[in-house]
Structure formats: C-alpha cells, structure tokens
Amino acid sequence: MDKRRKIRVLVVDDSLLFREMLVKILSSDPQIEVVAVAADPFEARDKIIEVLPDVLTCDVEMPKMNGIEFVRWLLPQHFFPVVMVSSVDKTVFEAMSAGAVDFVVKPGTQSSKAVMEFAEDLVQKIKTAAGAKPTLQKHEESFANVSGNIAQDTDRIVAIGASTGGTEAIYSILRYLPPTIPGIVIVQHIPPVFSKMFAERMDNQTELCVKEAETGDFVDQGTVLIAPGDRHMRIKKIGWRYQVECFRGEKVNGHCPSVDVLFDSVAKEAGSSAIGIQLTGMGYDGAKGLLAIRRKGGRTIGQDEASSIVYGMPRVAFDMGGVEIQEALKNIPQVLFNLLGR
C-alpha cells in the first residue's frame, strides 16, 4: 500500500454509539481515514463494493450475520484485512481461524484510561493490518505429513515468538507435534485473559499439554507453556529440567510479554540445546534474542515472507543474522523434526 496516502477504513458495528466512538478514534489519527460505516454485514457488503477500503473493523456480535460468519463469507472471495472488535470471548479465535488479521478488546469500562488504551491499540492494529497479506490456506491441504524420529535428549527445549497472525501460525505448528516433543515455551503478543483462552484452545486441539504458564511450571516433554498476556516469561535450568518464571515488568520492545525476554533466557540457560522459532508479526521483538540463541550454538528458524501475514519480526531477525533456516510456515514442523532428530 502507498504509505503516502491515508489508510481507508470501513467500520462495521451494529451499535450506533460504538460506531461513532470508533469513527472519532480513527479519524483523530492523521494516517487514517474512515471512508464508510455499516450497521451489519449486509450493509458492509455493499459499502465494500462502493468504497474499496484498505481495512475493515468488524464487531463479533451483530444481528443478521455475526462477524465470524461475515469473515468466513468475505475473505475467500476478496481479501480485505479485518480487525475484529470483541468483548472478552474465546470466539474471537474462530475469527482468527477464518482469516481475520487481528483483534482488539472493547474497553471494559468507560474510564478515560481504558478508552485511551483501547484507542491506541486499535490505531496500531489498523496500521499493522494495512500491510497484511492474504495467506489463506486450508491446513489439511497445505501442510505435508510430518515424519521422523525425535532424539530423546532430556535438555532440549523449543522457544517460539509471534505477534500479528501468530495464533493461527502457532496452531499450524503445534497440531503436527507428538507428545514426545521436547518442552515448548511461547510468547505470543496477546491481551491478558485471552492468553489463557488461547492456551486452552491449543490444549483441546492438539496432542500436547498446553497451558498458560505460571511461575514454577516445568517445561517437560510434550508440554507447551504460553506466557500470560501481561507478564514476561523466562526460563531457568534446574538440574536437567527447565522451569519458568512469569513476572510483571516494563514493556520491552513495546511489549509485555516480550519475545526477547524469553529468547535471551533460553540462550543463556539452554545454549546449544535450544531451538528458537520466530513467526509472523509486526516490529522487531525477538530478533536480538534469536541471534543470541544462534550465537550460543542453538538452532534457529524464521518464517518466510510469503507465508507471513506480517513479515516484520521474522525480517528483522533474518537481516540481523539470527535466522539459520528460513522456511514457509507449512514446512516448519518438518524442519523442527529434522533438527530434533540430529
């Protein structure tokens, strides 16, 4: 998209008051222009044809057709980056699975602080979505069967970092991994509460034991620990096992949890026994940490540009020299198997 012109946004929400609030928030940013509003998906369909927006914001709960159904109908025909606007509800992950780029959480109160934080989050995600690419693929069709033997080294550990588009990318990897896989630690940039919902979803949909991490948890074989949405996570080696610590702290690279905080600890504690994976996302969080893992003798993988919804974090890591192997998302499970078999 031409960076010199404004990002054209279509706002879809059944609440007149909330539509007006969204329009006011977005119009206050000089890089964004609200070109149309719609009260339901059917009105939105006509507006899309009329104004050809760059990005849509879409409420999850709407009359006639909910936001998830709308995304499922829209994206296979025309790719428009969609940012879902949701209350605290796990159905938002269905929208991500359907192809939405990202989501923002409606403010729980009308306090000025809550509304300001919501506004900042919304504007940032609209700008990120404007640069997103279509990567819609059927998981069953696009991912090859994964095969190979995993060497049972007791001190191996896998660390994954992701942001925009990461929830589906992570699922695309975890779903192919067996319970014999070494322990996995993950930082996904995601709001608090949703991190636990995401972990529960992965636990139900994969063969692995997935949970939101708590201080004291061990990263054992077949276990996946996902950092809480408002806390950094790092590991510490205790004997031959790894244990996590989750703690509050200032944002690092604009994020808490930060991928760099996790990767730095993995480089320090696991060294050559680590495998770091940098997935889709905006910004540069994780790039320095991935390089640290590689410099300590660990193996590193970066998602390639073609399969990334946003090729930001993987690009910076690659340009910095932190990526040893760059691969399409669909090939990363097999690459991981190959590395673990050596």
Positions annotated as catalytic residues are 163, 189, 285
The three-state DSSP-derived secondary structure of the chain is CCCCCCEEEEEECCCHHHHHHHHHHHHCCCCEEEEEEECCHHHHHHHHHHHCCCEEEEECCCCCCCHHHHHHHHCCCCCCCEEEEECCCCCHHHHHHHCCCEEEECCCCCCHHHHHHHHHHHHHHHHHHCCCCCCCCCHHHHCCCCCCCCCCCCCCEEEEEECCCHHHHHHHHHCCCCCCCCCEEEEECCCCCHHHHHHHHHHHHCCCEEEECCCCCECCCCEEEECCCCCEEEEEEECCEEEEEEECCCCECCECCCHHHHHHHHHHHHHHHEEEEECCECCCCCHHHHHHHHHCCCEEEEECCCCCCCECHHHHHHHHCCCCEEECHHHHHHHHHHHHCC
Closest CA to 10 of 43, 38, 42: 38
Residues 322 and 314: their CA atoms lie apart, in Å, by 9
